[in-house]
């Protein structure tokens, strides 16, 4: 046994020497092994814990259990853990055979070395406050553009790797433009940048793009995925709901560079802020983004429980990157979250005014707040003032109207009693109403009679009609004013721990709002804690998670992968950061800058790390195939919305208006055939809305727009921290045949034709708009052949050319040669389908 142990220790020492690792780090080297292989049976979940052994806590791991301890610091040969992981006896070996888990020799060596070194313990890394490490010293002192680069370069030098050279200026500007505003640069912007040889040319481009209103649109896509924004309710009939002003709030907040702590507080508790503004109330719509139902027979209590658990998952995902939702039915198996913690978090939201099952079938979700435009506001005040006068005048007349109507009815009934069925002025409908005794008439019948009578009498008609007209106009104006769902605080509902998440079980402990017990608690309050208290706790400077979570997601936006890869789980099942000191540096920089998002973005995109070429080098393919060490930039496909935006931009079709109601681009007929309760027909926009950016596309959660779906946009039924990336024929077919892309290709072709010149110069124009470069000789020849072949085909079949050019709302140039324009459209369709067109390099 001793010989075997010495052999393992020697292997571990050699491994450390080869990888350049220092002594064993518990969070980096040990916790992942325990979490993956041990915590399911020996972790936080007391209901599933076996042998009374708890390995997620130091006290549990070192506790003497009948003369044996799993971990005896400094003595691996006396540690039951080491004995069990090397045992071949199925009754004793760990992990047990039926778990299907198995430790590698390297993992066994690490556990042994860790215990040998005294089994040093630490809280999980994300629960430890970020700390500022000394900036690493590097051999290459000229490469770094800012302090962030020192962390990257130091690691590369330790791995005997060199950073890549800076990307060419065209690629840099395209990368920067896609990353900061989600759109490609124009040919003119590229020409200007290439001609500017000043040292601060790049910096000025960064500031120009950060100041663009399109920056907020780009940033909003990430946030809207996170908070599961959708234009529809998401359950059963998936009706349209009133929430798009929240989306505009997010866009404006990023454009205004609103402090992230304020941004967070306004969404969680904007309605609870003193003298809450309209903007803050709109922001509180975050709490209303959960899926809701209008299904007949749905149980209020059941769906209120669903909404509560949805909010806990959302808040813990968005701000904590924590899987607190796993504690809904049992204590978390891997992280320090108990079931009681889950329901205490849910209790924060028990004050939100809502019902479980809504009525009406129209997507209305009170409480909703009207948002009139300045013009509508002025007209509203004008009509309300005029109506108030009309109501006063009518109130003065009402006694006279009532008296006159009573006399009229009495005389008219007498006339009807003599055998007359109607007088020249009384309609048959009114005659029938008159046959109903006044005491038996309902309110509607009485109002109809009074209305008819008042309008028929000259002495009353003017006042009555003026009141009715003003009321109708006011009602019509209110119908035109957009509404948005907001949070309104009411008497909190009782929240109790639900046994196994069962909403029908009423035996569980009643709980008050509170944060998970493992963390710093809310300051002592002499009242019930509120959502505002929770929001302030989330963005407090002593909260170890929030800043790390957000900057990790920013890093993913600009490098393709987070510093910790699993964006929605920084817990034990997540990943130890590839650059932990850098993550802490960015988190502290974020906090110390006043939660300034643009400051961190600027720091990232001006770094030498960001500006590297993305070209794969042979040694990197072998040493770092997934580019975690960042010896080069990453390449990744544009987001679904950006793929479409790019085509609209380069074709000249893009309508760049910011904000407003959601729009409906072209969509295949019949796609909504199975969208029921009620049945609906998709009606695509016929105006400028057809050419708006993808962030404004109507987000039908259960029937997401097919083009967005083909490029992996999420349905937003749940929070999405990272979109999956697939590569399927559907994406290529959408690029080739979706009416948006066909119309964009035709518009791009028309622009090239209007420029005139030779075939070669037209290809140059197309490439400069689509790719900000001219084609290579090989590309030029292949596309020339495509043009010639398609021109011949369209000249032989002009009806095919006409059919192609009829695609889309924008009519083709009537003066154009249709076969020629169709052939150039084919060329542009090919260019828009190129890998380079939809990939950010």
User: Is 18 or 486 the better-scoring residue by pLDDT?
Assistant: 486
- The reply to whether 699 falls in a domain is yes
| pLDDT value of position 436 | 85
CA distances from 543 to 268, 341, 520 (A): 16, 17, 8
Structure confidence by residue, pLDDT tens digits, 705-748: 999 999 999 999 999 999 999 999 999 999 999 999 999 999 99
Q: How confident is the model at residue 291 (pLDDT cuts 50, 70, 90)?
A: very high
- The reply to whether 47 falls in a domain is yes
Structure confidence by residue, pLDDT tens digits, 211-268: 999 999 999 999 999 999 999 999 999 999 999 999 999 999 999 999 999 999 999 9
Tokens of 226: 């996170």
Please check whether residue 45 is in contact with residue 323, taking contact to mean a CB–CB distance below 8 angstroms.
no
N- to C-terminal Cα separation, the chain? 54
Residue 799 sits in the same domain as residue 841: yes
- The reply to whether 841 falls in a domain is yes
| pLDDT value of position 67 | 82
Q: If you average pLDDT over each of 120-129, 209-218, 617-626, which comes out highest? A: 209-218
Burial of 121 (0-12, 13-18, 19+ CB in 10 A): middle
Range of the domain at 669: 638-717+724-841
Residue 536 sits in the same domain as residue 548: no
Residue 781 sits in the same domain as residue 765: yes
| pLDDT value of position 455 | 86
| Residue whose entry in the numeric block shows the structure tokens 């299907």 | 100
- The reply to whether 269 falls in a domain is yes
Residue 498 sits in the same domain as residue 569: no
| pLDDT value of position 16 | 42
| Residue whose entry in the numeric block shows the structure tokens 């034990």 | 572
- The reply to whether 409 falls in a domain is yes
User: Is 414 or 453 the better-scoring residue by pLDDT?
Assistant: 453
Q: What is the pTM of this model?
A: 0.91
Region 651-678: mean pLDDT is 96
Q: How confident is the model at residue 22 (pLDDT cuts 50, 70, 90)?
A: low
Helices (H), strands (E): how many in the chain?
Answer: 34, 6
Q: How confident is the model at residue 580 (pLDDT cuts 50, 70, 90)?
A: very high
* pLDDT above 70 for 420: no
Tokens of 785: 């052949």
* pLDDT above 90 for 370: yes
- The reply to whether 211 falls in a domain is no
Q: How many CA atoms lie within 13 A of 710 on its CB side?
A: 17
| pLDDT value of position 73 | 92
Q: How confident is the model at residue 365 (pLDDT cuts 50, 70, 90)?
A: very high
Q: How confident is the model at residue 408 (pLDDT cuts 50, 70, 90)?
A: confident
- Percent of the chain at pLDDT above 90? 80
Residue 17 sits in the same domain as residue 85: yes
Please check whether residue 245 is in contact with residue 482, taking contact to mean a CB–CB distance below 8 angstroms.
yes
CA distances from 193 to 560, 650, 749, 752 (A): 25, 18, 26, 23
Select from 809, 830, 831, 806 the least CA-distant residue to 818.
Answer: 806
| pLDDT value of position 413 | 67
Q: How many CA atoms lie within 13 A of 65 on its CB side?
A: 18
Residue 508 sits in the same domain as residue 394: no
Residue 515 sits in the same domain as residue 447: no
Average pLDDT score over the chain: 93
Domain end position, chosen among 617, 632, 647:
632
Rounded to 10 deg, the angle between the 187-195 and 759-771 helix axes is 80
Region 44-69: mean pLDDT is 88
Query: Cis before residue 367, ω within 30 degrees of 0?
Result: yes
CA dist 587 and 544 (Å) reads: 9
Query: Cis before residue 95, ω within 30 degrees of 0?
Result: yes
How many structural domains is the chain composed of? 5
Residue 766 sits in the same domain as residue 642: yes
| pLDDT value of position 799 | 96
Rounded to 10 deg, the angle between the 798-805 and 739-755 helix axes is 110
* pLDDT above 80 for 308: yes
Q: How confident is the model at residue 447 (pLDDT cuts 50, 70, 90)?
A: confident
Q: Is the dihedral of CA 87, 89, 94, 95 positive or negative?
A: positive
Domain end position, chosen among 542, 559, 583:
542
| pLDDT value of position 434 | 82
| Residue whose entry in the numeric block shows the structure tokens 């909190």 | 492
List Cβ neighbours of 512 (8 Å cut-off, separation of 6 or more). 344, 347, 495, 528, 529
Select from 55, 50, 40, 42 the least CA-distant residue to 99.
Answer: 40
| Residue whose entry in the numeric block shows the structure tokens 């039951």 | 80
- Percent of the chain at pLDDT above 70? 96
| pLDDT value of position 416 | 58
* pLDDT above 80 for 4: no
Residue 686 sits in the same domain as residue 814: yes
| Residue whose entry in the numeric block shows the structure tokens 């154009």 | 816
Q: How many CA atoms lie within 13 A of 34 on its CB side?
A: 32
| pLDDT value of position 419 | 53
* pLDDT above 90 for 563: yes
Q: Is the dihedral of CA 764, 769, 774, 775 positive or negative?
A: negative
Q: What is the DSSP letter of 232?
A: B
Residue 515 sits in the same domain as residue 642: no
Q: How confident is the model at residue 612 (pLDDT cuts 50, 70, 90)?
A: very high
State the alpha helices, DSSP H only, in 87-135. Answer: 105-116
Q: How confident is the model at residue 671 (pLDDT cuts 50, 70, 90)?
A: very high
| pLDDT value of position 695 | 99
- The reply to whether 191 falls in a domain is no
List Cβ neighbours of 618 (8 Å cut-off, separation of 6 or more). none
| Residue whose entry in the numeric block shows the structure tokens 């796609």 | 671
Residue 529 sits in the same domain as residue 395: no
Q: How confident is the model at residue 578 (pLDDT cuts 50, 70, 90)?
A: very high
* pLDDT above 70 for 1: no
Residue 70 sits in the same domain as residue 85: yes
Query: Cis before residue 678, ω within 30 degrees of 0?
Result: yes
Q: How many residues does the chain have?
A: 841
Domain end position, chosen among 439, 458, 481:
481
SS3 category, 722: coil
| pLDDT value of position 48 | 83
């Amino acid at each position: 046994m001793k010989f075997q142990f010495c052999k393992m220790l020697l292997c571990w020492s050699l491994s450390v020497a080869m990888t350049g690792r220092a002594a064993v780090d518990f969070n980096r080297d040990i916790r992942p092994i325990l979490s993956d292989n041990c915590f399911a049976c020996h972790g936080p979940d007391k209901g599933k814990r076996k042998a009374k052994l708890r390995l997620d806590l130091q006290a549990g791991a070192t506790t003497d259990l009948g003369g044996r301890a799993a971990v005896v610091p400094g003595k691996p040969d006396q540690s039951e853990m080491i004995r069990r992981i090397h045992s071949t006896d199925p009754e004793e070996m760990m992990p047990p055979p039926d778990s299907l888990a198995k430790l590698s020799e390297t993992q066994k060596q690490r556990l042994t070395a860790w215990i040998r070194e005294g089994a040093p313990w630490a809280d999980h890394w994300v629960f430890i406050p970020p700390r500022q490490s000394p900036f690493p010293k590097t051999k290459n002192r000229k490469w770094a553009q800012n302090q962030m680069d020192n962390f990257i370069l130091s690691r590369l030098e330790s791995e005997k790797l060199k950073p890549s050279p800076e990307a060419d200026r065209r690629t840099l500007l395209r990368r920067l433009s896609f990353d900061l505003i989600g759109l490609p640069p124009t040919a003119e912007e590229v020409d200007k940048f290439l001609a500017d040889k000043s040292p601060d040319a790049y910096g000025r481009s960064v500031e120009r793009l950060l100041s663009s209103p399109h920056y907020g649109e780009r940033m909003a896509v990430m946030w809207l995925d996170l908070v599961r924004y959708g234009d529809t309710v998401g359950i059963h009939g998936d009706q349209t709901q009133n929430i798009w002003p929240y989306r505009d709030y997010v866009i404006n907040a990023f454009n205004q560079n609103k402090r992230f702590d304020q941004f967070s507080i306004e969404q969680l508790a904007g309605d609870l802020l003193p003298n809450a503004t309209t903007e803050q109330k709109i922001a509180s719509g975050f709490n209303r983004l959960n899926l809701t139902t209008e299904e007949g027979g749905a149980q209020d209590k059941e769906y209120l429980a669903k909404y509560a658990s949805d909010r806990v998952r959302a808040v813990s995902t968005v701000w904590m990157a924590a899987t607190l939702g796993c504690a809904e039915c049992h204590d978390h198996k891997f992280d320090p979250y108990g079931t009681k913690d889950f329901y205490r978090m849910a209790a924060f939201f028990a004050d939100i005014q809502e019902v479980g099952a809504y009525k009406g079938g129209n997507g209305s979700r009170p409480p909703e707040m009207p948002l009139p435009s300045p013009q509508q506001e002025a007209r509203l005040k004008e009509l309300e003032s005029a109506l108030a006068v009309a109501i006063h005048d009518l109130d003065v007349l009402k006694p006279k109207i009532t008296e006159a109507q009573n006399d009229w009815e009495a005389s008219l009934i007498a006339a009807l009693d003599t055998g007359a069925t109607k007088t020249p002025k009384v309609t048959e409908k009114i005659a029938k109403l008159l046959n109903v005794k006044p005491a038996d008439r309902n309110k509607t019948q009485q109002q109809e009679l009074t209305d008819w009578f008042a309008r028929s009498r000259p002495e009353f008609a003017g006042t009555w009609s003026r009141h009715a007209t003003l009321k109708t106009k006011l009602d019509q104006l209110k119908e035109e004013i957009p509404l948005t769902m907001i949070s309104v605080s009411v008497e909190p509902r009782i929240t109790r721990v639900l046994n196994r998440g069962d909403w029908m079980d009423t035996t569980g402990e009643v709980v008050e709002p509170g944060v998970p017990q493992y963390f710093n608690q809310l300051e002592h309050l002499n009242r019930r804690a509120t959502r505002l208290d929770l929001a302030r706790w989330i963005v407090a400077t002593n909260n170890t998670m929030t800043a790390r979570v957000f900057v990790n997601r920013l890093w993913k936006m600009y490098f393709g992968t987070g510093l910790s890869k699993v964006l929605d789980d920084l817990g034990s099942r997540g990943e130890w950061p590839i650059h932990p000191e850098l993550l802490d540096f960015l988190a502290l920089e974020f906090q110390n800058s006043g939660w300034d998002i643009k400051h961190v973005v600027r720091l990232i995109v001006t770094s030498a790390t960001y500006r590297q070429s993305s070209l794969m080098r042979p040694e990197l393919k072998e040493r770092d195939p997934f580019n975690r060490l960042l010896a080069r930039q990453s390449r990744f496909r544009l987001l679904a919305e950006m793929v479409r935006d790019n085509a609209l931009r380069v074709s000249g079709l893009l309508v760049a208006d910011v904000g407003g109601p959601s729009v409906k681009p072209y969509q295949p007929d019949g796609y909504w055939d199975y969208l029921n309760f009620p049945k609906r027909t998709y009606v695509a926009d016929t105006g400028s809305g057809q050419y708006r950016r993808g962030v404004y596309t109507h987000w039908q959660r259960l029937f997401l727009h097919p083009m967005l779906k083909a490029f992996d946009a999420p349905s937003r039924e749940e929070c999405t921290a990272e979109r999956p990336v697939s590569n399927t024929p559907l994406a290529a077919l959408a690029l080739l045949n979706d009416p948006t892309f066909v119309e964009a290709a035709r518009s791009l072709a028309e622009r090239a034709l209007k420029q005139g010149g030779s075939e070669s110069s037209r290809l140059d124009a197309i490439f400069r708009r689509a790719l900000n470069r001219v084609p290579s000789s090989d590309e030029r020849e292949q596309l020339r052949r495509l043009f010639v072949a398609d021109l011949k085909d369209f000249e032989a079949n002009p009806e095919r050319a006409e059919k192609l050019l009829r695609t889309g709302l924008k009519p083709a140039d009537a003066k154009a040669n249709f076969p020629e324009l169709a052939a150039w459209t084919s060329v542009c369709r090919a260019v828009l389908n190129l890998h380079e067109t939809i990939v950010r390099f």
